[in-house]
Chain A
Amino acid sequence: MVESREEEHPQSQKVFGWAARDSSGVLSPFIFSRRTNLADDVTLKILYCGICHSDLHATRNEWGNTIYPIVPGHEIIGTVTEVGANVTDLKVGDIAGVGCLVGACHTCESCEDDLENYCPRLVFAYNSIDHDGNVTYGGYSDRIVVPSRYAVRVPQGLPLAAAAPLLCAGITVYSPMKFHRMTEPGRHIGVVGLGGLGHVAVKMAKAFGVRVTVVSTSPAKEKEAIQGLGADAFLVSRDAEKMKAAAKTMDYIIDTVSAAHPLEPLMALLKRDGKLIMVGAPDKPLSIHAFPLIFGRKAIAGSMIGGMKETQEMMDFCGKHNITADVEVINMDYVNTAMDRMAKADVKYRFVIDVANSLSKQ
């Protein structure tokens, strides 16, 4: 007999959140359970949770792997309400964040290199099978329990709702910037797509002191890119002449676009040895031509979120440079409308749910 979600965890606490129950993706109130706080865990009362595009993909089963009911949300900011006996670096009352990861094997080479995000047995904050065999539930809920390794301190001074998206969008663009050394003085980075990931990438790149060009299909975003976010230039990807004029000018491109799109026009923007890093995850194959790679010794690489040590480093970097996302704070009951608007890219640039103030039991 299938245990009810309220009874899954033998040592458990009742939790309230919102879940999607089928591939319509429509979210509604949901009572479930979480484990009680173990020796290595911390418990967060959730204050804010950002709505990531992945939440939309997952609730609508666009990747074909959703277990319903699904409680999404992996851009979580909360207050620590309980710490396990082994936890020394967080205390009750601290403001902490939880992102996309809540577990890994901790013994493989990736984990030992602080790259839990590449562990073959990583556990995602939602829609993943935890070590105890139960499905994980995310941040559209009143609390979350995670091993303290998977919680990061939020630097004092960062506005909390605006900091929430850093837990996924922030680390997703910060990690490849560091790994591929895009931050060396004098570099020129192209950022493709001006959404949740893209706008944070622009802010971080400027904080690193590199030149940034936003590459977008929408001419309407130019003013925002340059005046609002501080980008140095704006390139409309559908303008063949402008794209040609910008050929071979960029050292790197961060491609945040998750829809299928042609890569050749972007590859042409790269200098010799240039790299295009994909952080958006188109779910259909893209077409690549070998000639641009060969004739310019260029590369296409991928990156997926970041490890926990790096996530803390990113939060501290954002604290130092006062970087947060541009957000539209909403109540929990607006979430379905928000999902529809996000599907049409109608948000500047992340919705953040005011969980503490608007998630009420019904």
Chain B
Amino acid sequence: MVQSQEEEHPRKAFGWAARDTSGVLSPFNFSRRTNGADDVTLKILYCGICHSDLHAVRNDWRNTVYPIVPGHEIIGAVTEVGTNVTDLKVGDITGVGCLVGACHTCESCEGDQENYCHRLILTYNSVDRDGTVTYGGYSDHIVVPRRYAVRVPQGLPLAAAAPLLCAGITVYSPMKHYAMTEPGRHLGVVGLGGLGHVAVKMAKAFGLKVTVISTSPAKEKEAIQGLGADDFLVSRDPEKMKASASTMDYIIDTVSAVHSLEPLLALLKLNGKLVMVGAPDKPLSLNTHPLLFGRKAIGGSMIGGMKETQEMMDFCCKHNITADVEVINMDYVNTAMDRLAKSDVKYRFVIDVANSLSN
């Protein structure tokens, strides 16, 4: 007999879940494990709404297990620590991102790259080691192994820090890995949404020249005056794009819709790299000649390891980097999802879980 989600685990939990591909979220009683020796429990304060949450609740990737409790940009207060946990204590403000488990024995895990472990466990819609489905941060509390919690440095406003747990690490990691942090270099950021706007802020903190590349001319003022970008390029303007040919050392492409890569490759200098962090779910067409004639590369990147996520949080505190957020109550979440689908948000919704999630 299939156990109900309320009975799977010993502790009662409350959250909002989508029950079918409409993606509409509503109150949901479920359960979580008790705090194990290696675990910490967080009372959730805030949870960012990531575009992945939208894809998942609507089954866009055709792998959703319903009911699904999304949310992987979680900030909370520690309410319990396991006996093996020595460096976090009750009351500490911590974050949980996209990962809650991995094998810990493979080469990726040993290299602090749990995000590339072939047995990684995602915060929601994943199968945990005990065979049950994981539930995310649109809920009152979460229990994770200590390894998957990061300290939130003091001084960061909490609602605005929540999106760093996914959007932040998603752009920070490739910036480090692909060596995009040499001061004076020129970075292009494609797409000015949750990922893109954080990328601009981080790149400026690294001392890079930043050009935002967008289909929307309306975003120029915000990019330059609001976020500090040096330049703004409308990708649908062929003349402007041509004038910018061979000017960028790197490009971070945050766009998850299918789009053409050639015009972006043309912006790169010799040895330039275009890194995809958005995940279009259909194949893209690529003419390989630009890669050969400029020794250019197209790479990908997916979130980051836990050690790196902590490093990113500390970097953001040092440089006072947080996301630009619109804080909402839990019962606004479905409207927020619809607005997110139309990119009608500057630039992340964050759910005020502690104050608005009521049983």
On A, residues with C-beta under 8 Å from B are 109-110, 115, 118, 120, 179, 272, 275, 278-279, 281-304
- Using known A-B contacts A275-B297, A293-B299, determine if residue A302 contacts B270 with beta carbons closer than 8 Å: no
Q: Does chain A have a CB within 8 A of B62? A: no
Q: Are A110 and B297 in contact (CB under 8 A)?
A: no
* A-B contacts, 28 listed (Cβ < 8 Å): A110-B270, A115-B270, A118-B270, A118-B293, A118-B294, A272-B108, A272-B113, A275-B297, A281-B292, A284-B287, A286-B285, A286-B288, A288-B283, A291-B300, A293-B276, A293-B300, A295-B116, A297-B174, A297-B299, A299-B300, A300-B297, A300-B298, A300-B299, A302-B290, A302-B292, A302-B296, A303-B295, A304-B295
B292 touches A304 (CB 8 A): yes
- Asked if B299 and A278 sit within 8 Å, CB to CB, the answer is no
Contacts of A110 in B (CB 8 A): 270
Q: How far is the CA of A281 from the CA of B297 in the complex (A)?
A: 15
Known: A290-B278, A294-B277. 12 other contacts (CB 8 A): A110-B270, A115-B270, A118-B294, A272-B108, A275-B297, A287-B283, A288-B298, A290-B284, A293-B300, A294-B302, A299-B300, A300-B299
A290 partner residues in chain B, CB cutoff 8 A: 276, 278-280, 284, 300
Residues of B within 8 A of A302 (CB): 288-297
B177, CB-defined interface residue at 8 Å:
yes
Q: Does any Cβ of A come within 8 Å of B286's Cβ?
A: yes
Assembled-state Cα–Cα distance A290/B284 (Å): 8
List the B side residues contacting A298 at CB < 8 Å: 299-300
- Asked whether any CB of chain A lies closer than 8 Å to the CB of B214, the reply is no
Q: A272-B108, A297-B116, A302-B293 are in contact. Are A281 and B298 (CB under 8 A)?
A: no
B270 A301 Cβ-Cβ under 8 A: no
Per a CB cutoff under 8 Å, which of A115, A285, A293 touches B298? A293
Query: Which residues of A lie under 8 Å from residue B299 when comparing CB positions?
Result: 293, 297-300
Contacts A272-B113, A278-B291, A302-B291; is A295 near B286 (CB within 8 Å)? Answer: no
**Distance in Å from the Cβ of A362 to the closest Cβ of chain B?**
38
- Establish whether residues A294 and B279, one from each chain, have CB atoms under 8 Å apart when the complex forms: yes
Cβ–Cβ contact B289 & A287, under 8 A? no
Chain B residues, CB < 8 A from A118: 270, 293-295
Q: Determine the distance from Cα of A120 to Cα of B177 in the docked complex, in whole angstroms.
A: 29
Q: Are B285 and A297 in contact (CB under 8 A)?
A: no
Give the residue name and chain of the A residue nearest to B280 (CB).
Answer: A290
B301 is an interface residue with CB less than 8 A from chain A: yes
Contacts of B295 in A (CB 8 A): 118, 179, 301-304
Complex Cα spacing A281 to B116, Å:
31
Interface size on B, residues (CB 8 A): 36
- Closest residue of chain A to B289 (Cβ to Cβ) is A281
| Cα(A179)–Cα(B300), bound, Å | 20
Q: Which residues of A contact B294 (CB under 8 A)?
A: 118, 302
How close is A132's CB to chain B, nearest CB, in angstroms?
24
Q: Which of A288, A293, A296, A297 has the most CB of B within 10 A?
A: A297
Contacts of B270 in A (CB 8 A): 109-110, 115, 118
Interface contact A296-B300, CB-CB below 8 Å: yes
Q: Is the CB of B288 within 8 A of A295?
A: no
- Min C-beta distance of B305 to chain A, whole Å: 11
**Contact of B292 with A278 in the complex, beta carbons under 8 Å:** yes
Docked-complex contact A301 and B284, CB < 8 angstroms: no
A304 to B283 alpha-carbon distance, docked (Å): 25
B291 touches A300 (CB 8 A): yes
Q: Do B116 and A299 touch across chains, with their CB atoms under 8 A apart?
A: no
**Contact between A288 and B279 (Cβ–Cβ < 8 Å)?**
no
Which residues does chain B contribute within 8 Å of A115, judged by CB atoms?
270
- Beta-carbon contact of B288 and A291 below 8 Å: no
Contacts of A282 in B (CB 8 A): 288
Q: How far is the CA of A289 from the CA of B174 in the complex (A)?
A: 18
CA of A283 to CA of B289 in the docked complex: distance in angstroms? 8
- Report Cα–Cα, A109/B296, bound state, in Å: 16
Residue-by-residue, is B164-178 near A (CB-CB < 8 Å gives 1, otherwise 0)?
000000000010010
Q: A291-B279, A294-B301, A297-B177 are in contact. Are A286 and B296 (CB under 8 A)?
A: no
Complex contact A281–B300 (CB within 8 A): no
Q: Chain A CB within 10 Å — which of B276, B281, B295 has the most?
A: B295
Contacting residues, chain B, for A279 (C-beta < 8 A): 292
Which 8 residue pairs spanning A and B have beta carbons closest together? A293-B300, A302-B291, A301-B297, A299-B299, A294-B300, A302-B292, A287-B283, A304-B292
A210 CB → nearest B CB, Å: 18
Complex: A133 Cα to B342 Cα, angstroms: 54
Residue of A179, A275, A295, A298 most packed against chain B (CB within 10 A): A295
Measured between beta carbons, the chain A residues less than 8 angstroms from B177 are 297
List chain B residues, Cβ under 8 A from A297: 116, 174, 177, 299-302
Complex interface: chain A residues within 8 A of B298 (CB) = 288, 293, 299-301
CA distance A265 to B306 in the complex (A): 30
Give, as a whole number of angstroms, the nearest-CB distance from B120 to chain A: 10
Task: Tell me, rounded to whole Å, the shortest Cβ–Cβ distance linking A31 to chain B.
Answer: 33
B297 to chain A: closest residue by CB: A301
Report the Cα distance A293→B273, complex, angstroms: 13
A40, chain B: closest CB distance, angstroms = 25
Chain B's closest residue to A258 (CB) is B288
Most buried by B among A279, A283, A300: A300
- Assembly CA distance A285 to B282 (angstroms): 15
In contact, A303 and B292 (Cβ under 8 angstroms): yes
**Which of A120, A179, A283, A289 is B284 in contact with, Cβ under 8 Å?**
A289
A288 and B113 within 8 A (CB): no
Query: A288 contacts B286, CB within 8 Å?
Result: yes
Give A288 to B295 CA distance when docked, in angstroms.
18
Mark contacts of B115-138 with chain A using CB atoms, 8 A cut-off: 1 yes-contact digit, 0 otherwise.
010000000000000000000000
Residue in B closest to A263 when the chains form the complex, CB atoms = B286
> Once the chains are docked, how many angstroms separate the CA of A279 from the CA of B293?
10
Which B residues are in CB contact (< 8 Å) with A283?
Answer: 289
Report the minimal beta-carbon distance from B268 to chain A, rounded to whole angstroms. 11
* Residue in A281, A286, A298, A299 whose Cβ sees the most chain B Cβ within 10 Å: A299
B287 CB, min distance to chain A CBs, angstroms: 5
Chain B minimum-CB-distance residue to A283 = B289
Which residue on chain B has the smallest CB distance to residue A172?
B292
Q: How far is the CB of A244 from chain B (nearest CB, A)?
A: 14
